[in-house]
Amino acid sequence: MYIGSTDSRGLMHCLWEIIDNSVDEALGGHGDSIDVVLHGDGSVEVRDSARGLPIDIEPRTGLTGVEVIFTKLHAGGKFGGGAYSSSGGLHGVGASVVNALSERLDVEVDRDGATWAMSFHRGVPVRFDDSGGVRPDNPHELFADGSELHKIGKVAKKKTGTRVRYWADPQIFTRDADFLFDQLVRRARQTAFLVPGLGIRLIDERGDEPVQQEFRYEGGIGEFVEYLAPDAELTQVWRCSGRRAFKETVPVLDEASGHMVSQEVERSCEVDVALRWGTGYETTVQSFVNIIATPKGGTHLAGFEQAMTKVLRDRVAQNARRLKAGKDKLEKDDILAGLTAIVTVRLPEPQFEGQTKEVLGTPAVRQIVSQVVQGALNERFDSSKREDKAASNTVLEKVVSEMKARISARAMKETAR
């Protein structure tokens, strides 16, 4: 099962897949708004202001781009050579699986001065009888087999975007499966932080009165760190950003032999980290790959922790006499105490451990993140600016204080034995 379950979790996974297609467009610089509407009839609609799905005929299949995306596995953003360099997509199931799991799915595209439309019934193109409008009591009863993308109106040449509305198939999903608005709010807020300037509006029409929430953050992950931080700031938010190239061996299809062969390709990994220390002791570190959360970390988080440990150990050693640090070494927990951080990487075709993308496995990312973070931190510690010097000293004093407290607590515990 591509979506993991047929309860509310699976239902939400399908919705994330459609939303992430629109987010991928925003990541590519196309479109700055997404609306998600939970309709009272049980359907959900996702609207964006991006380029609009491709409507031209795809030569290999003879189908329009819209039909390829909604009927062929893993088509998504990779259609027509316009691949997103770092697309999201929860499980890579693509819009086609969402379509197959829907009793009805309608898609409308504004592009090239016209509005184009196409409908599907459990993944198969059909034409519904909506002469009197969509019937909330039974929107799926009357339809005719066979349908193709067709023009239904005109729009201004500059107007572009895509609207997808679908009704999940009750024969597949459990009766209590439902769209969870609170979960949608958390994910939308998170995405808006990760994609600065993208506005996401959520509308829930299922109750007596519509509920609406909107998110847009220009400050990106720096603002995200400030939102998550549970304590007063000890330092301002520090940023560590950079891009590195790396080589990776991937399987490709050799068209001559029809067999899969190994080929070395050059990739690019973009790193963006925001962090700040606070007056408390709680650690809040979240990591993301192509805007998708990796709650169990992976190579990007390992690279971040490696860099933090190395730089701060070196700096404490250089200032050991002034800090009265002795010969003891900092440990990771000393450094992370009071730290709030967001670690993000963007790269094409990341490797994950497991289908749910909770752990990033791409080996090269560890060293790349470590290099970027080390470079930015060392630049900060070497800065001659008064405010940077003061902040750097504050950090060193805090981590040494944490180290001494840890050593003291351990000594007391050993004495008690």
In a domain, 2, yes or no: no
Name the residue with higher pLDDT: 329 or 83: 329
Asked whether residue 146 carries a pLDDT value surpassing 80, the answer given is no
The answer to whether residues 152 and 92 belong to one domain is: yes
Residue 248's contacts (CB-CB under 8 Å, 6 or more residues apart) are 264, 265, 266, 267, 362, 364
Question: For residue 127, with 0-12 CB atoms within 10 Å meaning exposed, 13-18 middle and 19 or more buried, which class applies?
Answer: middle
Which residue has tokens 């997103």? 84
Question: For residue 60, with 0-12 CB atoms within 10 Å meaning exposed, 13-18 middle and 19 or more buried, which class applies?
Answer: exposed
The answer to whether residues 13 and 130 belong to one domain is: yes
**DSSP conformation letters of 171-209:** TTS-TT----HHHHHHHHHHHHHHSTT-EEEEEE-SSSS
Cα(40)–Cα(59) distance, rounded to whole angstroms?
Answer: 40
User: Each residue of 84-120: pLDDT tens digit?
Assistant: 445 554 434 589 999 999 999 999 999 999 999 999 9
Asked whether residue 413 carries a pLDDT value surpassing 90, the answer given is no
The model's pTM: 0.88
Would you say 229 and 276 are in contact if contact means Cβ atoms under 8 Å apart? yes
Q: Mean pLDDT, the chain, as a whole number?
A: 90
Closest CA to 42 of 210, 212, 200, 205: 205
Q: Check which CATH number belongs to the domain holding 149 and give it.
A: 3.30.565.10
In the structure, what pLDDT confidence band is assigned to residue 140 with cuts at 50, 70 and 90?
low
Looking at residue 147, its pLDDT comes to: 74
The answer to whether residues 13 and 113 belong to one domain is: yes
Q: What is the mean pLDDT of residues 396-408?
A: 95
Which of 218, 238, 270 is the endpoint of a domain?
A: 218
Which of 189, 218, 247 is the endpoint of a domain?
A: 218
The answer to whether residues 168 and 233 belong to one domain is: no
The answer to whether residues 290 and 391 belong to one domain is: yes
**DSSP conformation letters of 295-306:** TT-BHHHHHHHH
The answer to whether residues 408 and 262 belong to one domain is: yes
User: How many folded domains does the chain comprise?
Assistant: 2
Strands 259-277 and 124-128: unpaired
The answer to whether residues 154 and 200 belong to one domain is: yes
Question: For residue 312, with 0-12 CB atoms within 10 Å meaning exposed, 13-18 middle and 19 or more buried, which class applies?
Answer: buried
Would you say 27 and 194 are in contact if contact means Cβ atoms under 8 Å apart? no
The answer to whether residues 91 and 240 belong to one domain is: no
The answer to whether residues 118 and 227 belong to one domain is: no
In percent, the amount of the chain with pLDDT more than 90 equals: 75
Looking at residue 178, its pLDDT comes to: 94
In a domain, 381, yes or no: yes
Domain of residue 33: give its range: 8-218
